[in-house]
Amino acid sequence: MHNRAVTFFRGIQDRICEELARADGGATFREDTWERAGGGGGRSRVITDGAVFEKGGVNFSEVFGELTPEFAKQLPGDGTRFTAAGVSLVLHPRSPLIPTVHANFRFLTHGSKAWFGGGADLTPYYPFQEDVVHFHRTWKRVCDAHAGIVDFAKMKRDCDDYFFLKHRNEARGVGGIFFDYADATEAMFAFVREASGAFLESYVPIIERRKSLAYTPKERAFQEYRRGRYVEFNLVYDRGTVFGLKTDGRTESILMSLPPVVRFIYNYHPEPGSREAELTDYWLKPKDWAGMEE
């Protein structure tokens, strides 16, 4: 299954990059290949200064080797040998009216244990209900097609719980789906393949609806401020970041997820009743988005 997963993840990286470059229309992905000293390597593909994407990356990696005994105890399985393969992406659009998006799908083994993990989540700054509903309905459709293997309600709930900044008591975004440590059965692999393929359907229509809309300097400044929350989550809580750093992964690829321009403002509070305040007062509260009208 490891070899089949590697082949699939390589292919889905190609497909996603092709479609995102087409949606951007102004830039293409630059590829860096790299090798890991302890075993394996990957292909990092980054797009910068595009018509849509200020910065984005779609990474493939296949690594293997030895875990430290301390880190091995934190994972399912036994011993210290591991393998990991997957595709991970983060896209930071220039426009504050287009949400940041993250997705990753991965296959890991640790001794006698093998599992899949992954998901996708949306981080808007000035949300449109049509976009948020569309994103969640896409993932519900995929999950419902694999009913009995996965459960959308649970994956959505796990996503809301996972992408939460405890030190802020605040969600990072409007969620999506999240799963981890799912036994590596053929049925689960089938779900991972379909979910990976659904990413473009979940996100590209949002780009097309919003990329021609004008925005103000104030909206851009607020986007840069909210990007700070993204940085905080990825450096403090993100399992992929921790796993990559703990296993001597390529730092440039691991931290590809960080936005290019961020604004940290001391003790900032948006004006009550403003669209900026509405983000945290309404949109970042978990809701049944898939059940709402677009």
**Residue corresponding to tokens 């700054």:** 125
Contact 118, 9 (CB under 8 A): no
**Angstrom distance (rounded) from CA 107 to CA 171:** 27
Structural domain range at position 67 = 2-291
Helices then strands, counting H and E runs in the chain, come out as 9, 9
**Angstrom distance (rounded) from CA 120 to CA 262:** 22
Strands 53-66 and 81-93: antiparallel
Catalytic residue (one of 2, 92, 102, 110): 102
Q: Is the pTM of this model over 0.75?
A: yes
> Which two structure tokens, joined as six digits, stand for 109?
């083994």
Predicted confidence at residue 38, as pLDDT, reads 87
Predicted confidence at residue 187, as pLDDT, reads 98
Predicted confidence at residue 277, as pLDDT, reads 98
Q: How many CB atoms sit inside 10 A of residue 88's CB?
A: 25
Predicted confidence at residue 98, as pLDDT, reads 98
User: Comparing 76 with 285, which gets the higher pLDDT?
Assistant: 285
CATH number of residue 157's parent domain: 3.40.1500.10
Q: Is 102 an annotated catalytic residue?
A: yes
The distance from CA 149 to its chain's CA centroid, rounded to whole angstroms, is 22
- In the chain, how many domains are there? 1
**pLDDT per residue as tens digits for the range 26-70:** 999 999 999 988 899 999 999 999 999 999 999 999 999 998 898
